[in-house]
Structure 1
Amino acid sequence: MTLSHPAYGRLRAVTETASVLLADNPGQMTLDGTNTWLLRAPGRSEYVVVDPGPEDHAHTDAIVRETGGAIALTLITHHHPDHTDGIDRLVELTGTPVRAVEPRFLRGKGTPLADGEVLEAAGLRITVVSTPGHTEDSVSFLLDDAVLTGDTVLGSGTTVLEGRDGALGDYLDSMDHLVELAEGRALLPAHGPDHPAADPVLRYYIRHRQERLDQIREALRVLGADASPEQVVERVYADVDESLWPAAQHSVQAQLSYLRSRN
């Protein structure tokens, strides 16, 4: 039987080289849960794991079961705990080395991931693409037939940005870079459903971000140039569940910083 998203705890094949295990950690920020990607070339016995997911023994045990514990390398898209809290148990059970941008997540003898680095494991060539914006350490992974985008691009909804200065400029640059690289490839996100073509999703994300910027410009025209992120959120996100407003404030802060730096 062919599985469709969401399918908790069951390996779902997506492309010739990528299958996914969905962690049972749904929520407002995780959508249906965290996607743990299992990658390998046809005919190979070892796997590359991308994002071990949360600290959930059932999920980690499912990764071990489906890989037979034969994990050549584990990769991390960014530091958030729903992607990284499962690292230590997976290492304990399989001995997998772990690579990430942030040194605190490294296990084994590997070094921090570098933009443009090409990894060879499980019969695959995987290119590391720096895609900051959601977090400073966010990276995507480029395969011949797909791009794994972590939380930089989700399978549904939109991405929350860091509130730091420069986050939106970084994010827009990341999106433009992904558009250049992703033509003809599937989109494999860390949350939400996968998509057979990355390009339309990426272009939607860029349009959406520009539309939000226009809405914030209008809000500043009404509220005044010195309006706070809280005031802007109340106006621009009035149709969004208020429980999501704190997260929206991070994105709004990044967008206000972006607009004010250009005035």
Structure 2
Amino acid sequence: MKNQRKYLFPNVIELNLQAGRPLGVNIYLIDGGSEYVLLDIGQDDTLDEVIDLIRQLDFPLSKCKMVIATHADADHVQALAQARERLKTKTAAHPKAAALIESGEVVETYAQITAQNFSIPMPVCKIDVRLKDGDVIEVGNLKLTVWSTPGHTPGQLSFKLRNLLFSGDNIYKDTCVGVIDAHHGSNIPDYITSLKRILADDAEFLLPSHGPAFRKDPAVLQPAIDRLTKYQYMADFGTCAVSWPLQEQWEKDILAGKMPDL
């Protein structure tokens, strides 16, 4: 039985919206006519539904050019190895994300968080294509331009299609950003650079990996940039911070023999 395709934008279907229920991470099917690609694939427990949905939309599995990982977090790519085999397709990722996926690394990918008694499998998957900033992926009659947008993770990618930017975990509609964590390889100065690049670009719409797509708005991006700029100097973010002015001044006071102001 065929389902009517629900295009979020021309050539773009988001599979959670298409399914009418949450599947986890946003999964974008980019329809190039003669072929298509998938941005992210989600987790093992939803892969059967994702594949059935693609079939119901009358997209032949053999026409999937590749499955692209926006980054290596387990909620985005746990099912990548199965998808590669079942779709008989290629996989693609940033080299730093590829290293984690090919080794089945569990800490940096958040597949395992020991302190919270959380653990899921992180199957090893070969990455066929390493993507770098400025690469162009041809999908039928479409062209996706690859952006390297590190910060959330070192291997975070975004993708430009006409006036659309598939922005990964960089920024969400509520001004939140993807998790900042030292165990995750997060880098706050890089994050700020990536957000400033998104803000300065002529993309009209941002399509994140979580939550709804939205019209790009400085009122969303600038508060995030301002907040992360402060984060660089806050002990809250541990080794992700650039420095901690309070501690630096405290050490100077100790050396100067100065007692605390009480």
Per the TM superposition, whether the score is higher than 0.5 is yes
Contact 1:11 1:20 in 2 (8 A): no
Unmatched segments (≥5 aa) in structure 1: 1-8, 27-31, 217-228, 233-251
Give the Cα–Cα distance (whole angstroms) in 1 for the partners of residues 73 and 84 of structure 2: 18
Partner SS state of residue 74, structure 1: strand
- Structure 2 residue aligned with 1:131: 149
Following TM superposition, the consecutive aligned residue runs of length 4 or more in structure 1 with deviations greater than 6 angstroms are 23-26, 106-109
Letter in 2 for 1:253: G
Aligned counterpart in structure 1 of residue 60 of structure 2, from 46, 54, 68: 68
Match of 2:14 in 1: 20
Distance 1:51 1:198, change over 3 A: farther
Following superposition, the deviation at residue 10 of structure 1 comes to 9.3
Residue by residue, what CA displacement relative to the aligned partner does 1:43-98 show, whole Å, maximum 9, x if unpaired?
A: x1321110011112223432444333121222110001111012122222221211
Q: Which of 189, 195, 210 is 2:208 aligned to?
A: 189
How do 1:20-169 residues align onto structure 2 when only pairs under 5 Å count? 20-22=14-16, 33-41=24-32, 44-55=33-44, 56=46, 57-66=48-57, 67-69=59-61, 70-101=63-94, 102-104=97-99, 105=101, 110-156=128-174, 157-163=176-182, 167-169=187-189
Following TM superposition, by how much is the alpha carbon of 1:11 offset from its aligned partner in structure 2, in angstroms? 6.0
Map Cα deviations across residues 10-34 of structure 1 (whole Å, 9 max, x no partner). 96421112110128997xxxxx831
CA RMSD of aligned residues (A): 3.2
Q: Return closer, same or farther for 1:125/1:85 CA change in 2, 3 Å cut-off.
A: same
Contact 1:64 1:93 in 2 (8 A): no
Give the aligned partner of residue 171 of structure 1: 191
Q: Structure 1 residues 198-207 or 116-125, which shifts more? A: 198-207
Q: Distance in 2 between matches of 1:10 and 1:158?
A: 33
How far apart are residue 177 of structure 1 and its match?
1.6
Aligned to 1:201: 220
Between the two proteins, the alignment pairs up a number of residues equal to 212
Residue aligning to 1:4: none
Q: Distance in 1 between matches of 2:218 and 2:136?
A: 22
- Decide which structure has the larger Cα Rg and report it: 2
- Identity among equivalent positions (%) equals 25
The 8 Å contact of residues 64 and 90 in structure 1, kept in 2 or not, is answered as: no
> In structure 2, what is the Cα distance between the partners aligned to 1:158 and 1:201?
10
Are the equivalent residues in 2 in contact too, given 1:24–1:59 (CA < 8 A)?
Answer: no
- Cα distance in 2, alignment partners of residues 109 and 210 from structure 1: 34
Deviation at 1:259, TM superposition (A): 3.0
Partner secondary structure for residue 129 of structure 2: coil
